[in-house]
Amino acid sequence: MNNYAALPWKPYEITDYTDADGNRYFVRMTVQDAMGHRTDDVYTFVRAHRGHLLAFKGEQRMAQPFAFSQVDYFPGTKKAIPGGLKLCRADVNDYKNILAGKLAIAPADPGAWHYNSETTDIWLRMLTVEYIDEKTGLWDCPDGNANHGWDCSVYALVAADVIGVRYWSRPEARPAKPVKKAAPAINP
């Protein structure tokens, strides 16, 4: 096992960003998929960065949007996880339906999903690779197709739900920035 927990968080942690209007936004939560081939490493890394990072497992169906499970042992072993770990489980089909709905909203309308101008065609293709299987009613990704952009967008929705973004009060509207008028040209 690599010592990912020893990696410093700060060099690649984006704690905030500023939009074109100078509004500052803070990153409150990050969700990391824990169900790949390196679950032990993910659990160790997440424990080292509690409060910033959630270990995550997507479920096909759940009775609620998300829930937490206590994990006390590394997978497939009897090796205890010191202090245990809370694993966030979420109904990914529900969140994928939400994301698909947001992507269908016109960009200028409320609730639309936005990306910045540097978003690549590769990323956008990853948002369109999954489809709903008509037999099961579940989202499916064809074998061999990258869907990382789709998954990351779903994880962002899960993180927003976990920290209760929908219940936050809206910030007070800032007064519009004054537009500087150009000085009149002087004709000699």
Contact 43, 36 (CB under 8 A): no
pLDDT at 26 over 90: no
Question: How does DSSP classify residue 69?
Answer: E
More confident call, 82 vs 179: 82
Amino acid at position 153, single letter: S
- What does the pLDDT average to over 62-66? 93
pLDDT value at residue 14: 63
pLDDT tier at 95, thresholds 50, 70, 90: very high
Q: What is the C-alpha separation between 33 and 155, in angstroms, rounded? A: 8
Contact 97, 129 (CB under 8 A): no
Q: What is the C-alpha separation between 121 and 63, in angstroms, rounded? A: 35
Q: State whether residue 76 is helix, strand or coil.
A: coil
Residue-wise DSSP of 83-139: EEEEEEEEEHHHHHHHHHHHHTS-TTSTT-----TT--HHHHHHTSS-EE-TTT-SE
- 57, 62, 67, 71: CA torsion to nearest 10: -50
pLDDT at 182 over 70: no
pLDDT value at residue 140: 95
pLDDT tier at 179, thresholds 50, 70, 90: low
pLDDT at 62 over 60: yes
pLDDT tier at 176, thresholds 50, 70, 90: low
32, with CB counted inside 10 A (0-12, 13-18, 19+), is middle
pLDDT value at residue 185: 65
- What does the pLDDT average to over 41-61? 88
Say what the pTM is: 0.79
pLDDT value at residue 49: 81
Average pLDDT, the chain: 86
Amino acid at position 26, single letter: F
pLDDT digits (tens, 9 = 90+) for 148-159: 999 999 999 999
pLDDT digits (tens, 9 = 90+) for 116-146: 888 999 999 999 999 999 999 999 999 999 9
Q: Are strands 80-91 and 66-73 parallel, antiparallel or unpaired?
A: antiparallel
Laid out side by side, the sheet with 53-59 consists of 30-33, 53-59, 80-91, 66-73
- What does the pLDDT average to over 29-36? 89
